[in-house]
Amino acid sequence: MAEKDWIRRYFAPLAKAPGAAGLTDDTAELSKGYGPLIATVDAMVEGVHFFSDDPIETVARKLVRVNVSDILGSGARPGEALLTLGWPQAGRDPGQIRTFSDSLGTELDRWGILLAGGDTVITPGGLFLSLTLTGECLGPAPVRRGGGRPGDEVWVTGEIGAARRGYLWKTEGRDEARWLSALQAPDLPPLEAGNLIASHASAAMDVSDGLLGDLASLAAASGLAAQIELERVPFAGRATSLVEMLDLASWGDDYQLLFAASPQSSGFIENSGFKVTRVGRLTEGAGLSATVCGKPVNLPETLAFEHGRVGQPPVRS
Amino acid sequence: MAEKDWIRRYFAPLAKAPGAAGLTDDTAELSKGYGPLIATVDAMVEGVHFFSDDPIETVARKLVRVNVSDILGSGARPGEALLTLGWPQAGRDPGQIRTFSDSLGTELDRWGILLAGGDTVITPGGLFLSLTLTGECLGPAPVRRGGGRPGDEVWVTGEIGAARRGYLWKTEGRDEARWLSALQAPDLPPLEAGNLIASHASAAMDVSDGLLGDLASLAAASGLAAQIELERVPFAGRATSLVEMLDLASWGDDYQLLFAASPQSSGFIENSGFKVTRVGRLTEGAGLSATVCGKPVNLPETLAFEHGRVGQPPVRS
């Protein structure tokens, strides 16, 4: 089937944006909304960001979620999407495209995202995908990494390390099968997290490269130091040793939200109605320090996760 | 070098959009402009949309231009861009990234496009790229394919068939080397073409899948028939036979603009200051018919170009 037929059959029905024009034109009119308009783009490559044998449903789900987390982390509501789909010339059943588009449609609906446009191409290599997602800020401007103030408390949504546990199960048979779903498509905080960030966060980002490395980035962007109390971190499952804590907190692929807020906001944050945990604070100075029950901990020099090839040890930078 | 270092070193200097935040955050704030905001996304894959041995400079240039033609064809001015770059894990000198980003920056500047964001990933397959480009409509709404009216004249900018000639030279040694540059990065009409479309076109699109197939699409979207006078088509070089005319007019990759306009606009269009040629008209009815010097011509059943793999005959749908 030709690319145009795929678009007409599988993606045009998803193109619910008012300016999508049924995907029959080359451009879509974007909704401007009321608040500032933001956009993000995240790509996923077979063998790097997902395994070749991951269900195509979860690939679609993950593609949407890794972009949604960026929008929520900026204090915004997801808006409209443009999809780039690079489908392998060989080796993947074209029947999967319907499954992919069905799953994509369900996931877009879940977040209130309207498909506005896209491009579908055939590739001699593996499956690759890229999604551009707009968002409407719920405050007067997007919340950035660099807005933290000394004395701010540091919070994280949901749980940290589920994707790492899924990876250990998938690649080494360690840990439990139930974590696999978190590796294949992360659990995200609800849409309301965007409101919480817009209303209370001084600085925010999603946790994609590991909690420790991302917190170090947020602190550096804010010109401050960060302290983290590892025993407070809401690890997926139980972290029974310092080694395990550091492993789960530096691997990445969590797509939870990390943010800083004034201590005066703590009451609002604790009553947000979804899981948010205070894990540390920002102070004058520079760098990241960690404690367990008040005792300083030596952190590994390299914290940030850099996507290597899945199935191989990740490249760390 | 890690992906983050590439972004900091090569792409952050290009991120001139006011809301790009130096590419240090996960989202960019888009400029809303005054007119309606539109967006397009076009992807390019090594071995499909460009040859592996094409200079990396022209790959960057083509990536921008195939998106710019969509924006101009909607009667708009190019605005801001988000880049997805999938760089091969092996087999391509990483030193090419600087050359790519330099060329990309020059080409973005040429069209007044501001880089707002992006994602850079490593891929086990070949090079792939995707660019999301916004545009600001110069009229009250984007010009669509479906707005043509009976009696409208059909116009095309620039020349048709240069990329085809470049392809014949590249793959078969036929034709002349000078056409290769059109295959590697198409010549586009100037920015002013967006104004002309906004001011005078009832329907418009870019010519990416072949002049004949694209005109058939425009007519069908408008619920009309189209007539084309092949001897009027501004072919690149001279088309000396009907076979050659049909070949050049159905191959694609031209990225010129095809539009319909009332005969009352012909004076304005002829005085636009760049090359625009009247090649036919829209009438009541359905389908595409062609003549050469008034004599009807049998058109091949399949007109539209569908990107196959470069170096192999294109797949036609």
User: Once rounded to an integer, what is the mean pLDDT over residues A279-295?
Assistant: 97
Contacts of B124 in chain A (CB under 8 A): 45-48, 125-126, 309
pLDDT over 90 (residue A164): yes
User: Once rounded to an integer, what is the mean pLDDT over residues B268-287?
Assistant: 97
Whether A43 and B70 lie within 8 Å, measured CB to CB: no
User: Once rounded to an integer, what is the mean pLDDT over residues A213-227?
Assistant: 97
Task: Name the pLDDT band for A310 (thresholds 50, 70, 90).
Answer: very low
Q: What is the DSSP letter of A313?
A: P
Contacts of A83 in chain B (CB under 8 A): 41
Residue A18 pLDDT: 87
Contacts of B208 in chain A (CB under 8 A): 26
- Higher pLDDT, residue B310 or A249: A249
Contacts of B41 in chain A (CB under 8 A): 82-84, 117-119, 130, 132
Residue B155 pLDDT: 98
- The two counts, helices (H) then strands (E), for chain A are 9, 14
CA distances, A225 to each of A60, A152, A215, B4, B40 (Å): 37, 11, 9, 21, 41
Return phi, psi of residue B162, to 5°: -65, -40
CA distances, B311 to each of A1, A208, B129, B181 (Å): 20, 39, 19, 16
List the single residue in B with minimal CA-CA distance to A117. Answer: B40
Cα dihedral A186/A139/A203/B27 (nearest 10): 60
User: Once rounded to an integer, what is the mean pLDDT over residues A222-243?
Assistant: 96
Which stretch of B11-15, B275-279, B302-306 has the lowest confidence by average pLDDT?
A: B302-306
What domains appear along chain B, each with residue ranges and CATH number? 3-25+33-137 (3.30.1330.10), 145-297 (3.90.650.10)
Return phi, psi of residue A5, to 5°: -70, -40
Mean pLDDT over the full length of chain B:
92
Residue with token string 């539009």: B259
| Gap between the Cα atoms of A173 and A166, Å rounded | 9
Q: What is the three-class DSSP state of A308?
A: coil
Residue B261 pLDDT: 98
User: Once rounded to an integer, what is the mean pLDDT over residues B228-256?
Assistant: 95
pLDDT over 60 (residue B163): yes
Which stretch of A20-24, A246-250, A276-280 has the lowest confidence by average pLDDT?
A: A20-24
Residues that constitute the known binding site of B: 26, 40, 42, 49, 70, 118-119, 145, 206, 208-209, 253, 305
Task: Name the pLDDT band for B78 (thresholds 50, 70, 90).
Answer: very high
Q: Does residue A83 belong to the interface with chain B, where contact is any CB pair within 8 Å?
A: yes
Structure tokens that stand for A288 in this block: 């990241």
Number of Cα atoms under 13 Å in the Cβ half of residue A250: 22
Whether B30 and A134 lie within 8 Å, measured CB to CB: yes
**Shortest Cα distance from B120 to chain A (angstroms)?**
8
Task: Name the pLDDT band for B270 (thresholds 50, 70, 90).
Answer: very high
Q: What is the three-class DSSP state of A281?
A: strand
Question: String of b and e for B158-192 (b: at least 16 CB within 10 Å)?
Answer: bbbbbbbbbbbbbeeeebeeebbbbbbbbbbbbbe
- Higher pLDDT, residue A8 or A161: A161
CA distances, A121 to each of A314, B41, B228, B306 (Å): 28, 12, 30, 10
Task: Name the pLDDT band for B308 (thresholds 50, 70, 90).
Answer: very low
Residue A303 pLDDT: 66
Q: Does residue B273 belong to the interface with chain A, where contact is any CB pair within 8 Å?
A: no
User: Once rounded to an integer, what is the mean pLDDT over residues B279-284?
Assistant: 98
User: Once rounded to an integer, what is the mean pLDDT over residues B98-111?
Assistant: 96
Task: Name the pLDDT band for B48 (thresholds 50, 70, 90).
Answer: very high
- Pairing of β A225-229 and β A256-261: unpaired
User: Once rounded to an integer, what is the mean pLDDT over residues B89-100?
Assistant: 91
Residue B50 pLDDT: 96
**Shortest Cα distance from A295 to chain B (angstroms)?**
32
| Gap between the Cα atoms of B218 and B207, Å rounded | 11
For the stretch A103-154, pLDDT in tens is 999 999 999 999 999 999 999 999 999 999 999 999 999 999 999 999 999 9
∠ CA A265-A271-A277, rounded to 5°: 75
Q: What is the DSSP letter of A160?
A: B
| Gap between the Cα atoms of B97 and B154, Å rounded | 41
Other C-beta atoms lying within 10 Å of the C-beta of residue A248: 26
User: Once rounded to an integer, what is the mean pLDDT over residues A144-165?
Assistant: 97
For the stretch B106-147, pLDDT in tens is 999 999 999 999 999 999 999 999 999 999 999 999 999 999
Cα dihedral B296/B300/B306/B311 (nearest 10): -110
Mean pLDDT over the full length of chain A:
92
pLDDT over 50 (residue B314): no
pLDDT over 80 (residue B297): yes
Which stretch of A241-255, A303-317, B77-91, B270-284 has the lowest confidence by average pLDDT?
A: A303-317
Residue with token string 């980003």: B101
Q: Does residue B109 belong to the interface with chain A, where contact is any CB pair within 8 Å?
A: no
- Higher pLDDT, residue A288 or B305: A288
Residue A80 pLDDT: 96
Task: Name the pLDDT band for B307 (thresholds 50, 70, 90).
Answer: very low
Residue A203 pLDDT: 98
Contacts of B210 in chain A (CB under 8 A): none
Interface pTM, i.e. ipTM: 0.92
Task: Name the pLDDT band for B18 (thresholds 50, 70, 90).
Answer: confident
